[in-house]
Amino acid sequence: SMALRSGDIWSYHEDAGKVALEQQVSLMGELDLAIERGDLEVLYQPKLELATNRVTSAEALVRWRHPTRGYLSPDTFIPLAEESDRIGELTLFVLRRALDDLAQWSARGTVIRTAVNISARLIASAQFVGQVERMIRADGIAPDRLIFEITESATLRDPAGARAALMRWCDLGVAISMDDYGTGQSTLSYLKNLPLSELKIDRSFVQHAHQDRSDALLVRSTVELAHQLGLKVVAEGIEEAECLAYLRAIGCDYAQGYFIGKPMAGDDLLLAIEEIARAAA
């Protein structure tokens, strides 16, 4: 099932820029084994609810602890997993881990929601949509503790099909979040036809919003319009106190970024949540 066209390989070479061509080809072959052996790790990055100063959710972000190459970032291997049809398996692995961790945290008294990133091409797969549905139904965790982060490329490729898939998850109780908002072509008026509950503004607009007039305008107007459409807004990539203060001032709902917390192991997330709660009290 490894559909290797040379154009794809070279585009990865240019895009990733981190891993040489021959390494990319060998990585593709190693990914199955990595999933089997548990070499993939799931870290969590907190999202701060600005109205309460509490961490109410976290985003699951996958890492590959490669036996010889060290930690590999998802930007390196997610595109390879997509191209070699292993992305479904990888995503089910992350979802399984997220559900197990949610259950563990609940048992220890921390009830939050977890966001899982879902690749565009998976939304078009009826098999995957069904597998996710079965995994969630079979699990003890309430589906409303899950958020699926999608990107608009999923919805542009096949709008009707994407909408149907999202509706199925939405009917289960899973919240859908539009990731990397602002980097693509689609307008909010187009997105309003999808069952979204959240919009995540891309960090390229957020990062300098407190000091750049055009970024500020984009972020502020997106928050306003999203609210009018009944959507919550997450700003990602907050690296400075001034940026967080700005987002608070314009009524953004949630904030995520290194200033609040980097992606971390589940146990560390619990500690960070307690620390943030203590600081807010």
User: 30 or 46: whose CB is closer to Mg ion?
Assistant: 46
- The nearer residue to ligand C2E, 8 or 189, going by C-beta atoms, is 8
Q: Is-contact 115 151, C-beta < 8 A?
A: no
Measured between alpha carbons, how far is 155 from 163 in angstroms, rounded to an integer? 7
Shortest approach of ligand C2E to residue 12 CB, angstroms?
Answer: 14
Helices (H), 229-256: 241-249
- Which amino acid appears at position 246 of this protein? Y
> Which residues contribute to the site for ligand C2E (CB under 6 A)?
45, 61-62, 73-75, 78, 91, 94, 117, 119, 149, 179-180, 203, 236-239, 256-258, 263
Alpha-carbon distance values, 104 to 97, 269, 270 (Å): 10, 12, 11
Nearer to Mg ion, 30 or 236 (CB): 236
Q: Where on the chain is the footprint of Mg ion (CB under 5 A)? A: 117, 149, 179-180, 236
Tell me the HSE value of 196 on the side-chain side, using a 13 A CA sphere: 28
224 contact, one of Mg ion, ligand C2E, none, CB 5-8 Å limit per kind: none
Q: Cα separation of 64 and 66, whole Å? A: 6
* Least gap, CB of 43 to ligand C2E (angstroms): 7
Least distance from C-beta 109 to ligand C2E, angstroms?
A: 26
263 touches, from ligand C2E, Mg ion, none (C-beta below 5 to 8 Å by class): ligand C2E
Q: Are strands 113-117 and 54-66 parallel, antiparallel or unpaired?
A: parallel
Give dist(CA 182, CA 237) in Å, integer. 14
CB of 204 to ligand C2E, least distance (A): 10
